[in-house]
Amino acid sequence: MSAMANLEINLEEEFQHLPQAPIVEAVIDIRARSTATFNEESLRPQVEAALTGYQFLDSHQELQHEIKLEDGQASSQIIRFDWKGLRFQSDDKKHIAQFNRDGFVFSRLEPYQDWPQLHSEAMKLWQVYLELAKPVAIDRLGLRFINRIRLPIGEFQFEDYMKSAPQPPQGLDLPFAGFMHQDTLMVPGRSYVINIVKTIQPPAVDECSGAALILDIDVLTTQGYELDDGAELRRHLLEMRWLKNKAFFGSITDKAWALFK
């Protein structure tokens, strides 16, 4: 089998702006381990002093469980609380920033505005993390967009809205009550991988809304690099955004487009 040709990423390509974009959350995840002293007591006042328009949300804890099997009975107990970092939320509750020992995470909740706004706000807060955590390298980058495509009430024709929609087994033509499909795509010649998850969100119990299709696109780097003046980070994010857009527009139909205009 011959090697696959490298993918040409065209950063000059323009994508149609969707006034009613179905994005419910957009995330920029920068894994970069802190080399500075990083604990809850010292970090919170430093972040609060550096941020404007944000309030403390919570302290991020990770729990480690231990499961034992004795006499055929399984028991579970928490053996350690591991403090990971702090979360802050913007005054309008549309942005969440995580300052963690192993990196920085920025989320924009719906309604999504546009890429310049997302990128600008994330990079402003990333600079705060750089000054406090003093990382020397970026271990991994992630760019994730979670889309919710709301269908008209009573509509379950998935193939009308999403390309490569699921099909029932041949000879068993039955309606779907739900589905989940995941694709993982490698990018030849580039240090990126794309995870695409498609699933369905059932109608609300009150039946005031129809079902929704979830299109979750997560672009990740597969190699880390040493920190520079920020040029490498900007380049990666622009290329990852292009890959995300190609995955999104290549997954929806014209009928779905009409819902977002």
DSSP 113-145: --HHHHHHHHHHHHHHHHHHH--SEE-EEEEEE
Mean pLDDT along residues 241-257: 95
Task: Choose from 33-42, 152-161, 246-255 the range with maximum mean pLDDT.
Answer: 246-255
d(CA 115, CA 259): 20
Cβ proximity of 195 and 220 under 8 Å: yes
User: Residue 121: what are its φ and ψ, rounded to 5°?
Assistant: -65, -40
Taking only the tens place, the pLDDT of each residue in 85-118 is 999 999 999 999 999 999 999 999 999 999 999 9
Using the predicted structure, report yes or no on whether residue 65 has a pLDDT greater than 90.
Answer: no
Q: Give every CB contact of residue 56 below 8 A, 6+ residues apart in sequence.
A: 44, 48, 86, 87, 88
Considering only residues 175 and 125, tell me which one the structure prediction assigns the higher pLDDT: 125
Using the predicted structure, report yes or no on whether residue 1 has a pLDDT greater than 50.
Answer: no
d(CA 206, CA 208): 5
